[in-house]
């Protein structure tokens, strides 16, 4: 109440709270009732000063508004998330109540129970809503007594223990091939000086104590006498699933590797529960009530849900959400959210993959203020922008090199000779930040999505399509905004003037020459393009070669990964699998991008020493190389891993004449040994940790794909501020940036790193244990689909013969040869599967390089590939 | 109180106030007849009683000795308070109050005497110091002791990049920075300033300005209350003319 204004009506709210000791205390909080809040309704009769601000307006085409009370809003929030129900008014009290989880009563004008409301208004309009309601209601009532777990310690005990070092905090990772028994806790924020930095083993369900894969947990180490090693025997999946519950105690000490720190979960800091894809078990009887469903992901325990529609949902993949896991319950309780569709259907399976990877597949909300570009209102460059930017339309020939059909072109290049004989190299990146202002809805949405997801036949954009495929995309023949980095290079391709090198012009791209068919005939095809362009491209390749040579001298690694392209027929079944051709022009582009990223990183790190967003690639851990070393040793090579330069050199030496595959395989193994590169804020790490191991650069960031990566958008903003084009006021600080970096890292890391590691140690041992095949022999394998009812489909790899597969008509059918190579490579990544069948997504290991070269978003290609395998099997 | 949203996107605080709004202030002067001066003030749910007593003493020959006693009733907080006075917090508060009023009372007018200020917090909901200072000011005015100016106190905090004024208990205990300012509103002089927790120096002046603005708002309310009181007393005694 400020003087001069009408005093607000004051009231008191009585709240009963439970304090830390478990005592109930009653608290009185005062509340002020306001009468100056606009109703935001288009049908307003009282002339409220309604403004279309961030709250949004209530629609006019509606018969009623709903004001849910606290209880309803908290328990049935998902019902209100249904897009069909509009005109919901959430009271501030309700919003607070949901946040603080304390109940209260508000007085509504029309008091209906939610069930009555749904019955009256929505029963016919939205099918399935009542089922959702029933499911949630039932799960709220569920209380089942069964096997007990230990309770969690109170928060302050945990905090004290963490501070004193008695407890350890970290994320829990369940071992995919032994989900019932083993989990590992990866320490959070490891101190580099800490020698005991290895992961902690959590053995058995009772020590895991209701933690679910991904949760942030607190563990207590067991006494050293109870430490044990991880089991090396891969159990048969089927058997494991059935007797996982019984054999807890009877199980003898299996063959184990060295003992490692073992602990038990004593508390959970943060649950990472999301929505899970699940399926009913096949022999579920048609009764109603509580049903156990099997999650798609092996690492998640079965979930108990209540539903009366077992029969209708039996052959469908459904989405469930975990509500709670009581101390006395063996399985977590959850509720049914929605059905994705029948098992085996392509759409269903893709939806399942998306849900499992927390990829947002909803369409963009309409409230965003987006520029328009229609035939009536064509989008044009603003005159005010033109005066601020450098116009490169007439002076530079700007071209892009992208595969055919690419819609979101965010990087283009230009190169030309200057009058003084020097060369001017330009990298021009789409100016996304011009359209996506910090804090706007588009920005928030992009932040949540963080990346564009590419699947074989579709993609899920980070930005609305008007931006990603049109206004931000540097398409041929139209004017666009761009951010350019332009260097002046001397005749030896050295950067002449560093001060000028970071010059930023914001260009308007006029000519974008596409080289679409490039992947087919790289050199010859160019000949019919304009002569000028060809000379530029070859000059560019020359420069890139030089840059790359310089980097390799510095110790950059050339690692190997296989990319497979799936060619689909019109009915979306698989027509063919082809390994992606690797052409020099791809290297050229990648090299230019690395160059640009490097210089941008230099600039922003200089201007914002405390809050620049960079990307680093930490030193790999020595034990990760064990697999590579032993594999190389099998063929008589030694690998020196002391520095990245040594590693690169010794990898170059591992060549068996006439057998290029060996070198490729070793490189793949080296790739797997790498730590994951990640984003960070410069204020959070010491200067020595900034370097990028794989690229051998001291500073690196991501700048070149703002349309498909959110990190690049952030870097763009920082660069704009660094060169004084915009103010630096809106930039995130160190802490905020660090949280953002964590979020983006998480979004980019669908494929877990630690699981890879455990799998690899298994590879080596089982190989030497069986002594049947020597490493790196060529064998022919057959990939078949191991269909599973509830889980992700896996591939089974059988040895057909231990002779290399040679196509009978090798000369003519090189294509087939490539395919065979690919198969071999895939098989090597999962060598142990030749003997034991298990579920193993092959895509996991191949992505590091791709992450580096900016195509992170197609991470899913292997998933998709094998899902499509399955699809094709079903179709045929 | 993790997860509690102190300031909603729409700019409302937990109790429904906007960032610049004070809690509701109600006050009365002259609530006791035995004491030389007394006052009662409610700032939201914080309720404070203050009483003044004057006496002779011999220690200081050139100015008055200001003595304070601050205490909180056992029933003033959610859980029963064990020691109503004499604990560290109360002692600190006592000292702060004495310093504040030493600076505001024209001490050299009463040599060889003592002014006792008794402050009792009946109900506590954040901003105890502020309410105590405001109550004591009213009580001193009621007692007719010459002051340089009203002493008005107000607190402020900094949430989601915007300063909020007059914070209640919930906002106080959230761990956000808290600044307490006591001023002489007419001259805008600060007689007391305290800060808890950490605040970036770039934001300091913003938050202090907010608190000082709050003090001025408090002053308006106190001044109106004093004038009402005086005119009421005058009516009773028939002094209108």
Candidates 3.30.230.70, 3.90.105.10, 3.40.50.150, 3.40.50.1980; CATH matching B25-237 = 3.30.230.70
CA–CA distance, B54 with A477 (Å, rounded to integer): 90
Residue A341 has pLDDT above 50, yes or no: yes
pLDDT cut 90: percent of chain A above it = 0
What pairs with residue A574 in β-bridges? A568
Mean of the per-residue pLDDT values of chain B: 90
CA–CA distance, A504 with A483 (Å, rounded to integer): 7
Question: In a 3-state reduction of DSSP, which class is residue A177?
Answer: helix
Residue B220 contacts A where some CB pair is shorter than 8 Å? yes
pLDDT of residue A764: 27
What does the DSSP 8-state code read for residue A578? Answer: E
Residue B175 has pLDDT above 80, yes or no: yes
pLDDT of residue A286: 53
CA–CA distance, A452 with A724 (Å, rounded to integer): 29
| Chain B environment of A7 (Cβ under 8 Å) | 24
pLDDT of residue A842: 35
Position of tokens 């600060």? B190
Under 8 Å between Cβ of A198 and A261: yes
Closest CA to A322 of A142, A127, A71: A142
Rounded mean pLDDT of B144-150? 94
User: A418-439: string of b/e by CB count within 10 Å (b at 16+)?
Assistant: eeeebbbbbbbbbbbbbbbebe
pLDDT cut 70: percent of chain A above it = 57
Burial of A477 (C-beta count, 10 Å sphere; 0-12/13-18/19+)? exposed
Residue B4 contacts A where some CB pair is shorter than 8 Å? yes
- Could A25 and B79 be called an inter-chain contact, meaning their C-beta atoms sit closer than 8 Å? yes
| Chain A environment of B14 (Cβ under 8 Å) | 29, 96
- If you write DSSP's letter for every residue of A197-225 in order, what string do you get? -S-EEEESHHHHTT--TT-EEEEEEPPGG
Under 8 Å between Cβ of B22 and B217: yes
Nearest neighbour of A55 by CB, restricted to B10, B25, B170: B10
Who has greater pLDDT, A605 or A285? A605
Residue A533 has pLDDT above 60, yes or no: yes
Q: Report which listed range, A643-647, A737-741, B23-27, is most confident.
A: B23-27
- Could A3 and B170 be called an inter-chain contact, meaning their C-beta atoms sit closer than 8 Å? no
Phi/psi at A659 (nearest 5 deg)? -140, 80
CA–CA distance, A844 with A561 (Å, rounded to integer): 11
Rounded mean pLDDT of A640-650? 75
**Span A87-118, pLDDT tens digits:** 788 777 777 776 654 434 444 445 556 766 77
CA–CA distance, A217 with A642 (Å, rounded to integer): 35
**Span A71-85, pLDDT tens digits:** 777 777 777 777 777
Rounded mean pLDDT of B103-113? 91
Q: Give alpha helix (H) positions in chain B.
A: 88-104, 128-143, 169-172, 201-237
Under 8 Å between Cβ of A668 and A845: yes
pLDDT of residue B99: 93
pLDDT of residue A552: 78
How many whole angstroms from its chain centre is CA A147? 36
Q: Strand runs (DSSP E) across A123-212, as ranges? A: 167-174, 182-187, 200-203
User: CB count, 10 Å around CB of A161?
Assistant: 18
Who has greater pLDDT, B60 or A228? B60
Chain B nearest CA to A365, separation (Å): 19
pLDDT of residue A113: 65
- Could A30 and B23 be called an inter-chain contact, meaning their C-beta atoms sit closer than 8 Å? yes
Mean of the per-residue pLDDT values of chain A: 66
CA atoms B130, B131, B134, B139: torsion sign: negative
Percentage helix, strand, coil for chain A under 3-state DSSP, each rounded to 5: 35, 20, 45
pLDDT of residue A696: 78
Rounded mean pLDDT of B153-158? 95
Phi/psi at B72 (nearest 5 deg)? -115, 135
CA–CA distance, B59 with B52 (Å, rounded to integer): 20
Position of tokens 């009792």? B120
What pairs with residue B7 in β-bridges? B13
Residue of B nearest to A38 (CA): B10
CA–CA distance, A767 with A752 (Å, rounded to integer): 24
Using pLDDT thresholds of 50, 70 and 90, give the confidence band for residue A223. Answer: confident
Percentage helix, strand, coil for chain B under 3-state DSSP, each rounded to 5: 30, 30, 40
Domain boundaries, chain B: 25-237
Using pLDDT thresholds of 50, 70 and 90, give the confidence band for residue A294. Answer: confident
**Span A3-48, pLDDT tens digits:** 445 567 888 878 777 776 777 777 788 888 887 777 777 777 777 7
CA–CA distance, A764 with A871 (Å, rounded to integer): 33
CA atoms A211, A217, A223, A224: torsion sign: positive
Q: Report which listed range, A205-209, A292-296, B199-203, is most confident.
A: B199-203
Q: Report which listed range, A406-420, A696-710, B186-200, is most confident.
A: B186-200
pLDDT of residue A425: 81
CA–CA distance, B129 with B153 (Å, rounded to integer): 8
pLDDT of residue B65: 92
- Could A92 and B16 be called an inter-chain contact, meaning their C-beta atoms sit closer than 8 Å? yes
Q: How far is the first Cα of chain B from the last one, in angstroms, to the nearest whole number? A: 57
pLDDT of residue A822: 44
Radius of gyration of chain A (CA): 30
Under 8 Å between Cβ of A731 and A718: yes
Q: Give alpha helix (H) positions in A17-91.
A: 70-75, 77-80
Residue A819 has pLDDT above 80, yes or no: no
CA–CA distance, A620 with A673 (Å, rounded to integer): 7
Q: Strand runs (DSSP E) across A621-743, as ranges? A: 678-681
Say how many residues make up chain A: 876
Q: How far is CA A675 from CA A173, A862, A863, B112, in A?
A: 16, 20, 21, 78
pLDDT of residue A588: 79
- Could B17 and A29 be called an inter-chain contact, meaning their C-beta atoms sit closer than 8 Å? no
Residue B8 contacts A where some CB pair is shorter than 8 Å? yes
Question: In a 3-state reduction of DSSP, which class is residue A617?
Answer: strand
Which range has the worst mean pLDDT, A273-282, A456-465, A522-531, B116-125?
A: A522-531
- Could A99 and B12 be called an inter-chain contact, meaning their C-beta atoms sit closer than 8 Å? no
pTM above 0.80, yes or no: no
Who has greater pLDDT, A96 or A252? A96
pLDDT cut 70: percent of chain B above it = 97
Under 8 Å between Cβ of A101 and A74: yes
Question: In a 3-state reduction of DSSP, which class is residue A481?
Answer: strand
Using pLDDT thresholds of 50, 70 and 90, give the confidence band for residue B138. Answer: very high
CA–CA distance, B48 with B26 (Å, rounded to integer): 11
Question: In a 3-state reduction of DSSP, which class is residue A353?
Answer: helix
Nearest neighbour of B21 by CB, restricted to A2, A28, A96: A2
Rounded mean pLDDT of A403-415? 72
Which range has the worst mean pLDDT, A339-353, A488-502, A843-857, B195-209?
A: A843-857
Phi/psi at A434 (nearest 5 deg)? -65, -35
Long-range CB contacts (< 8 A, 24+ apart) of A2-8? A2/B20, A2/B21, A2/B22, A2/B217, A3/B217, A3/B220, A3/B221, A7/B24, A8/A32, A8/A33, A8/A34, A8/B16, A8/B17, A8/B21, A8/B24
pLDDT of residue A53: 58
Using pLDDT thresholds of 50, 70 and 90, give the confidence band for residue A430. Answer: confident
Torsion of CA A492, A497, A501, A507, to 10 degrees: -90
CA–CA distance, A3 with B220 (Å, rounded to integer): 7
CA–CA distance, A185 with A181 (Å, rounded to integer): 13
- If you write DSSP's letter for every residue of A76-109 in order, what string do you get? SHHHHTSTT---B---HHHHHHHHHT-------S
What does the DSSP 8-state code read for residue A676? Answer: P
How many whole angstroms from its chain centre is CA A795? 23
**Span A543-594, pLDDT tens digits:** 888 888 887 777 776 665 555 555 555 555 555 555 555 666 777 788 888 8
Under 8 Å between Cβ of A702 and A854: yes
What does the DSSP 8-state code read for residue A466? Answer: I
Using pLDDT thresholds of 50, 70 and 90, give the confidence band for residue A836. Answer: very low
Nearest neighbour of A28 by CB, restricted to B16, B45, B79: B45
Torsion of CA A794, A795, A798, A799, to 10 degrees: -130
Which range has the worst mean pLDDT, A135-139, A275-279, A283-287, A617-621?
A: A283-287
Closest CA to A507 of A390, A425, A381: A390
Closest CA to A450 of A702, A29, A740: A740
Using pLDDT thresholds of 50, 70 and 90, give the confidence band for residue B191. Answer: very high
Rounded mean pLDDT of B162-167? 93
- Could B24 and A10 be called an inter-chain contact, meaning their C-beta atoms sit closer than 8 Å? yes
Which range has the worst mean pLDDT, A188-197, A531-540, A813-822?
A: A813-822
What does the DSSP 8-state code read for residue A331? Answer: S
Nearest neighbour of A32 by CB, restricted to B17, B78, B217: B17
Question: In a 3-state reduction of DSSP, which class is residue B28?
Answer: strand
pLDDT of residue B114: 93
Which of A6, A7, A10, A24 is best to mutate for the B interface (most B CBs within 10 A)?
A10
Using pLDDT thresholds of 50, 70 and 90, give the confidence band for residue A314. Answer: confident
Chain A residues within 8 Å of chain B (Cβ atoms): 1-3, 7-8, 10, 12, 25-34, 54-55, 92, 95-96, 99-100
Residue A622 has pLDDT above 80, yes or no: no
Six-digit token pair at B223?
Answer: 């001044």
CA–CA distance, A57 with A110 (Å, rounded to integer): 22
CA–CA distance, A531 with A555 (Å, rounded to integer): 36
pLDDT of residue A863: 53
Under 8 Å between Cβ of B207 and B158: yes
Nearest neighbour of A33 by CB, restricted to B16, B79, B221: B16
pLDDT of residue B92: 92
User: CB count, 10 Å around CB of A523?
Assistant: 13
Chain A nearest CA to B24, separation (Å): 6
Q: How far is CA A192 from CA A189, A195, A221, A621, A666, in A?
A: 9, 8, 20, 12, 28
pLDDT of residue A832: 35
Residue A752 has pLDDT above 50, yes or no: no
Chain A nearest CA to B95, separation (Å): 29
CA–CA distance, A64 with A55 (Å, rounded to integer): 19
Q: How far is the first Cα of chain A from the last one, in angstroms, to the nearest whole number? A: 74
Residue A186 has pLDDT above 80, yes or no: no
């Amino acid at each position: 109440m400020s003087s001069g204004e009408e005093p607000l009506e004051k009231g008191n709210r009585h709240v009963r709270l439970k304090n830390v000791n478990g005592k109930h205390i009653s608290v009185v909080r005062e509340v002020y009732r306001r009468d100056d809040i606009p109703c935001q309704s288009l049908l307003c009769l009282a002339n409220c000063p309604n403004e279309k601000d961030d709250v949004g307006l209530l629609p006019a085409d509606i018969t009623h508004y709903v004001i849910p009370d606290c209880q309803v809003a908290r328990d049935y929030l998902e019902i209100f998330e249904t897009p069909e129900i509009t005109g919901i008014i959430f009271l501030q009290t309700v919003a607070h109540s949901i946040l603080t989880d304390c109940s209260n009563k508000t007085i509504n004008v029309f008091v209906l129970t939610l069930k009555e409301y749904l019955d009256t208004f929505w029963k016919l309009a939205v099918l399935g809503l009542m089922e959702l309601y029933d499911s949630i209601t039932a799960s709220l009532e569920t209380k089942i007594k069964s096997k007990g777990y230990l309770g969690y310690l109170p928060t302050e005990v945990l905090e004290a223990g963490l501070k004193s070092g008695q407890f350890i905090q970290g994320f829990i990772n369940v071992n995919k091939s032994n989900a019932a028994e083993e989990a590992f806790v990866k320490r959070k924020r490891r101190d580099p000086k800490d020698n005991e930095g290895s992961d902690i083993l959590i053995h058995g369900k009772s020590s895991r104590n209701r933690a679910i894969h991904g949760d942030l947990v607190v563990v207590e180490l067991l006494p050293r006498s109870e430490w044990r090693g991880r089991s090396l025997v891969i159990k048969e999946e089927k058997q494991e699933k059935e007797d996982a519950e019984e054999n807890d105690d009877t199980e003898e000490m299996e063959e184990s590797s060295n003992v490692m720190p073992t602990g038990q979960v004593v508390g959970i800091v943060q649950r990472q529960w999301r929505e899970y894809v699940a399926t009913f078990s096949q022999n579920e009887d048609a009764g109603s009530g509580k049903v156990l469903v099997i999650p798609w992901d092996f690492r998640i325990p079965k979930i108990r849900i209540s539903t009366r529609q077992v029969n209708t949902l039996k052959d469908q993949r459904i989405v469930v959400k975990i509500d709670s896991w009581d101390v006395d319950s063996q399985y977590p309780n959850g509720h049914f959210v929605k059905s994705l569709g029948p098992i085996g259907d392509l759409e269903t399976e893709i939806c399942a993959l998306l849900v499992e990877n927390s990829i947002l597949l909803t369409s963009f909300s309409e409230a965003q203020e987006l520029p328009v570009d229609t035939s009536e209102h064509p989008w044009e460059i603003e005159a005010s922008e033109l005066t601020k930017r450098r116009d490169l339309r007439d002076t530079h020939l700007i071209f892009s090199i992208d595969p055919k059909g690419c819609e979101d072109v965010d990087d283009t290049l230009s190169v030309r000779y200057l009058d003084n004989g020097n060369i001017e190299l330009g990298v021009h990146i789409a100016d996304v930040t011009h359209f996506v202002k910090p804090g706007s809805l588009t920005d928030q949405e992009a932040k949540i999505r963080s990346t564009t997801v590419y699947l074989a036949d579709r993609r899920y954009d980070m930005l609305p399509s008007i931006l990603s495929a049109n206004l931000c995309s540097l398409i041929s023949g139209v004017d666009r905004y761009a951010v350019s980095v332009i260097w002046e290079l001397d005749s030896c391709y050295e950067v002449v003037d560093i001060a000028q090198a970071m010059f930023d012009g914001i260009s308007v791209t006029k000519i974008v020459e596409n080289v679409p068919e490039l992947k087919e005939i790289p050199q010859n095809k160019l000949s019919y393009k304009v002569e000028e362009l060809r000379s530029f491209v070859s000059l560019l390749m020359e420069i890139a070669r030089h840059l790359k040579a310089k980097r390799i001298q510095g110790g950059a690694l050339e690692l190997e990964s296989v990319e497979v392209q799936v060619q689909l027929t019109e009915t979306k079944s698989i027509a063919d699998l082809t390994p992606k051709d690797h052409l020099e022009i791809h290297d050229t582009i990648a090299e230019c991008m690395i160059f640009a990223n490097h210089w941008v990183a230099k600039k922003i790190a200089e201007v914002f020493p405390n809050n620049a967003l960079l990307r680093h690639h930490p030193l790999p851990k020595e034990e990760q190389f064990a697999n590579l070393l032993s594999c190389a040793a099998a063929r008589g090579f030694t690998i020196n891993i002391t520095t990245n330069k040594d590693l690169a050199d010794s990898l170059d030496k591992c060549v068996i004449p006439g057998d290029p595959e060996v070198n490729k395989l070793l490189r793949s193994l080296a790739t797997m040994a790498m730590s994951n590169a990640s984003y960070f804020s410069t204020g959070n790490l010491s200067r020595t940790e900034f370097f990028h191991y794989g690229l051998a650069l001291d500073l690196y960031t991501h700048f070149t794909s703002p349309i498909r990566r959110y990190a690049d958008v952030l870097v763009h903003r920082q660069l704009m501020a660094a060169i004084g084009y915009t103010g630096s006021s809106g930039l995130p600080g160190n802490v905020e940036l660090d949280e953002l970096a964590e979020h983006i890292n998480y979004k980019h890391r669908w494929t877990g790193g630690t699981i890879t590691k455990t799998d690899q140690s298994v590879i080596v041992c089982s190989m030497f244990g069986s002594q049947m095949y020597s490493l790196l022999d060529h064998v022919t394998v057959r990939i078949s689909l191991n269909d599973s009812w509830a889980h992700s489909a896996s591939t089974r790899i059988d040895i057909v013969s231990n002779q290399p597969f040679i196509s009978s008509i090798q000369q003519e059918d090189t294509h087939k040869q490539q395919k065979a190579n690919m198969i071999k490579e895939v098989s090597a990544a999962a060598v142990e599967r030749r003997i034991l069948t298990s579920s193993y997504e092959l895509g996991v290991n191949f992505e590091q390089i791709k992450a580096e070269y900016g195509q992170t978003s197609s991470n899913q290609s292997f998933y998709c590939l094998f899902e499509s395998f399955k699809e094709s099997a079903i179709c045929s | 109180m993790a997860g509690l949203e102190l300031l909603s996107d729409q700019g409302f605080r937990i109790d429904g106030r906007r960032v610049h709004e004070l809690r509701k202030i109600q006050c009365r002067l002259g609530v006791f007849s035995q004491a030389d001066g007394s006052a009662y003030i409610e700032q939201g749910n914080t309720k404070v009683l203050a009483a003044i007593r004057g006496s002779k003493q011999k220690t200081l020959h050139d100015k008055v000795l200001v003595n304070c006693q601050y205490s909180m009733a056992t029933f003033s907080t959610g859980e029963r308070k064990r020691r109503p006075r004499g604990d560290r917090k109360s002692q600190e508060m006592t000292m702060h109050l004495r310093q504040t009023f030493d600076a505001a009372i024209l001490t050299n007018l009463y040599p060889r005497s003592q002014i006792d200020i008794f402050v009792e917090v009946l109900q506590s909901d954040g901003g105890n110091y502020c309410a105590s200072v405001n109550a004591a000011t009213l009580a001193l005015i009621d007692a007719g002791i010459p002051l340089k100016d009203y002493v008005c106190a107000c607190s402020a905090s900094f949430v989601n990049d915007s300063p909020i004024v007059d914070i209640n208990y919930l906002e106080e205990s959230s761990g956000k920075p808290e600044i307490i300012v006591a001023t002489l509103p007419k001259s805008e002089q600060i007689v007391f300033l305290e800060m808890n927790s950490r605040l970036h120096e770039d934001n300091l002046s913003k938050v202090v300005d907010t608190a000082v603005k709050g003090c001025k708002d408090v002053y308006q309310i106190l001044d109106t209350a004093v004038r009402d009181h005086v005119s009421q007393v005058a009516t009773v005694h028939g002094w209108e003319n």
